[in-house]
Amino acid sequence: MIERHGVVVGFVLVLLGALGALSVAAQEKYPSRPIDFICTWGTGGGADAMARQIGSLAQPILGVALPVSNVPGASGNTGMAQLLASKPDGYTIAVYIQDTLMTIPMGLARYKVDDFEWVTRTQVADSFLFVKSDGPFKTIQELFKHAQANPGKLRVAATGFGTVDDVTVRFLEKKGYKMTTVPYPKPGERYAAALGGHAEVLYEQAGDVLQYLKAGQLKPLIIFAETRHPAFPDVPASKELGLDITLPQFRGIVAKKGTPADRVRAMADAFKKAMDTPQWKKFAEEWYFAPDSHMGPAEFSRWAAGEVDTLDRLVKEFGLRK
């Protein structure tokens, strides 16, 4: 019964949203019509789950729907092109994640870090290398040994070229463990490649592949972090192996530069409230987000700029940029 009432309320909400869109005097109140939410990655992955989760939680707070449209490709930059082609009026926002940020220092992005309003950082999570549980590799040492003996033979399913995934793979190559990055922008294709043995290794965050971990199909070999993760006490951290690379995956929400400050504020406040709900807390726990994930506009833009500097340094240090 509650469900049906919910449906009715939902219909009314969306109708109201649609009416808002039709009204000419849309300038007065913000938001007065649905906010287009571009997810720069395919349906069914971590970025998509985040967008839909926060979108649905922010809907009652903002009073308008945040319909998510998936525009995957080019490490997120296909969707970014769409965001940057839109009007900076606060009615188009997009998911922005670490992999996409990485394309700036790699010279693959056609924008700068200050072309965006950094609305909210919603999550930070460490990345792992996973292999098939019934595969030949039991430990990270075995994997590295194989990579040393057969340079470039092992394939790592990753989100794309010039992404953090790719940089980590190239970092390992510098250390003598040469593997090949195979880009699969759609998360589903990435997991299928790992499960089907079409890529021997998968670079991913634990929350994204939780079901395969629980079902015993995949297992983590290494976490790229300073310390081990409490949920995976047996998985060595990169730092203890002397691999100084910790590029935690972050996901957040951005708008185009020039969006009125009060609208950015309104969105950021709504997302903050959404992230304080028990539903989000449960979601964050299931996906292994760091507890201090949230950042507001000012903090997030400073942090993102700093992150680009770090990545820039890494890229130069390892001569990754061609």
Partner 1 sequence: MGEIFANLGGGFVNAFQPLNFTMILLGLTIGIIAGALPGITMLNSIVLVLPFTYLMGIVPALLLMIGVYCGGVFGGSITGILFNIPGDPMNVPTTWEGYRLNRKGQTQYALGLAIMSSAFGGLVSALFLAFFAPPFAKFALTFSTVEFFAVVVFGLASVSVLGQASMAAALISLFAGVLLGTVGTEAQYGVERFAFGVPFLKTGVDFVTVLIGLFAIGEVLEQLVVKGAEPAPPTPGARAIPKLPLLALWPLRWPLARGTAVGIAVGGLAGAGATVSSFVSYGLEKQISKEPHLFGTGHAGGLVAAESSNNGSTGGAMAHLLTLGIPGSAATAVMMGAFLIHGIQPGPLLFTKQPEQVYTIFAGMILANVVMIALGFLAALSFTMLMKVPAPILNTFIVVFCFLGAFALRNDLADVWLTMLFGVLGFFMRRWDLPIPPLVMGIILGPMAEQYFLTSMVSHANDLTVFLTRPVSAVVLAFSLLMVVWPFVKTFRARRRHAGGR
Contacts with partner 1, residue ranges (CB under 8 A): 3-4, 6-7, 9-11, 14, 36, 42-44, 48-49, 52-53, 56, 59, 65, 67-75, 77-78, 81-82, 84-85, 103, 108, 110, 152, 155, 160-162, 180-186, 188-189, 191-193, 195-196, 198-199, 210-212, 214-215, 217, 282-283, 286
| Closer of 14 and 296 to partner 1 (Cβ) | 14
| Closer of 46 and 252 to partner 1 (Cβ) | 46
Distance CA 316, CA 44 (A): 34
Burial class (CB in 10 A: 0-12, 13-18, 19+), 256: buried
**180 three-class SS:** strand
Beta pairing partners, 97:
251
| Closer of 189 and 312 to partner 1 (Cβ) | 189
CB 191, min distance to partner 1, A: 6
**How far from the centroid of its chain's Cα atoms is residue 49's Cα?**
10
The radius of gyration computed from the CA coordinates of the chain, to the nearest angstrom, equals 20
What strand order describes the sheet that includes 116-125?
68-70, 36-39, 92-97, 249-256, 116-125
| Closer of 185 and 252 to partner 1 (Cβ) | 185
Phi, psi (deg, nearest 5) at residue 193: -65, -40
CB 211, min distance to partner 1, A: 4
| Closer of 3 and 28 to partner 1 (Cβ) | 3
CB 80, min distance to partner 1, A: 9
| Closer of 201 and 295 to partner 1 (Cβ) | 201
CB 78, min distance to partner 1, A: 5
What strand order describes the sheet that includes 127-132?
180-183, 155-158, 201-205, 127-132, 218-224
CB 172, min distance to partner 1, A: 17
Interior CA angle at 224 toward 46 and 242, to 5°? Answer: 170
CB 49, min distance to partner 1, A: 4
| Closer of 302 and 321 to partner 1 (Cβ) | 321
Cα separation values, 4 from 1, 10, 11, 253, Å? 5, 10, 11, 31
CB 107, min distance to partner 1, A: 10
Beta pairing partners, 237:
223
